[in-house]
Structure formats: C-alpha cells, structure tokens
Amino acid sequence: MGGNGMSFAADFYTAPSAPVQWKQRQKRQTRRNLIALPTDQREHEVIDFERRAFLDAVIVVNDAIEHAIRQIDEIERHIDLAGGIRSRMLSALRASLGKTSVFPTLTTDGNDGLIAQWKAGPRYLMLEISSDDGYSMMATGDDGELQLNTADDGNPDFEELKILVREFSTFVEARNPAWREQYV
C-alpha cells in the first residue's frame, strides 16, 4: 500500500479488473489505512481530496462498473490512454452507475480519451472524457430529440450524470427487463 493518498487512488484506478469479492475485502482494510493517515502533512489538502475520492470509489462496485472496467482494460491493450483519463472516467461511472444501471459501452474517443455510450431505441446518452482536460455530455429523450448537449473544462456534474443514467435505466427496464442479454 502506498505511503500517501495519491498512491492509494492511483493504485486503485490503474489496477486491472479484479474479482468483485477481492475488491470488497480490500475496501474495509483500505478505508482503515486511509483514516489512519496523518493529516498534518505538506500535501494535506491533496491527500484529503484523494481520500474522499478513494472512499467514494471503493464503495461502488457493481456489474455495470465491472463491465466498464473490462472494456477499458481491452481498450488499453491496444492504445495508451492519456494520463488521468481512466481514473476520470471511472470516477464518473462509479458516481453514477448503480446495481440496476444499464451497462455503458466504453470506446476510445478516436484519440487518447474515452467515451461511454448508452443506446436504447430513441434514447441515447453519451459521456466523453478527453485529454484536453475537458468533457462533453449528450442525452436524448423518448422522442429521440437532444435534451442535453453540454461540455466544459474538468469533469461533469456527477449528480446530473447519475440522474441521466437512472432515467435511462428506468426507461430500458420498463421495456426490456432482459436487457443484459444485449451485453453478453
């Protein structure tokens, strides 16, 4: 285990996908180690931020996130993602994907960033994390019309993304409860 919060987060985000049970066992010990870290260090604020982000990350492990991690692993067998892309995307997905969430499809953005997409008939949801330290997000409604098309520096509003994923998943579950068969 690393000696500071930065390495904890980096180790977790860059680790290859691991069985859910292993990660759940690691959660409890990792959380104890983080809480035991002294806070009167030079990078106190950075470490505190990483600790919060890490705790948020380790809590959320589910099928949708595991599916996304496997896809990102596959992508990284072929290309080098820009620094921070994997962790930024996983932060967004961990904050928004619940145990009943429809799986995203992860692809590159054609360069060294990542795109997560969800498609269900007229409904479409997209999150792009790019290497220019920005993001973009799009969503259509039941009529197929764009209801959201936004972008900015940094990362998306995780709460907004969570709502969009929940609405999308509710739409899908009502029409095709066997949706997981599409992602085998």
Partner 1 sequence: MNPASWVVDDGSVPDDAHVFRRLPDKPPFIVVPDALGGPKELGIAVYSYDDDDGMSVYSSTAMDRESITHRELIDWTTKNLCVVPMAVVRRSLPRAEARPGTVSPDATHEVPGGVIAAEVMHPTDPRIGRSHALMRIEVVPTAAKKLLKPAWNAFRLKLLDDTCFKIEADGDWIRQPARKTPSGA
Tell me: does residue 170 bind partner 1 (CB under 8 A): no
Per CB under 8 A, which of residues 107..166 are in contact with partner 1?
A: 107-111, 115, 117-122, 124, 126, 128, 130, 132, 134, 136, 138, 140, 143-153
Tell me: does residue 66 bind partner 1 (CB under 8 A): no
User: How far apart, in whole angstroms, are the C-alpha atoms of residue 57 and residue 92?
Assistant: 10
Tell me: does residue 77 bind partner 1 (CB under 8 A): yes
CB of 86 to partner 1, least distance (A): 14
The smaller minimum CB distance to partner 1, of residues 13 and 118, is found at 118
142: Cβ–Cβ under 8 A, 6 or more apart, which residues? 122, 123, 171
Q: Residue 6, Cβ neighbours under 10 Å: how many? A: 16
Residue 21 Cα distances to 24, 31, 48, 95, 101, angstroms: 5, 16, 27, 20, 20
- Report the SS3 class of residue 120: strand
CB of 108 to partner 1, least distance (A): 5
Tell me: does residue 183 bind partner 1 (CB under 8 A): yes
User: How far apart, in whole angstroms, are the C-alpha atoms of residue 102 and residue 119?
Assistant: 9
Selected from 74, 83, 98, 99, the binder of partner 1 by CB under 8 A is: 74
Tell me: does residue 84 bind partner 1 (CB under 8 A): no
Amino acid at 150: T
CB of 132 to partner 1, least distance (A): 7
- The residues with which 153 forms a beta bridge, in sequence order, are 134
8-state DSSP, 122: T
Point out which residues bind partner 1 (CB under 8 A): 74-75, 77-79, 102, 105, 107-111, 115, 117-122, 124, 126, 128, 130, 132, 134, 136, 138, 140, 143-153, 172, 175-176, 179, 181-183
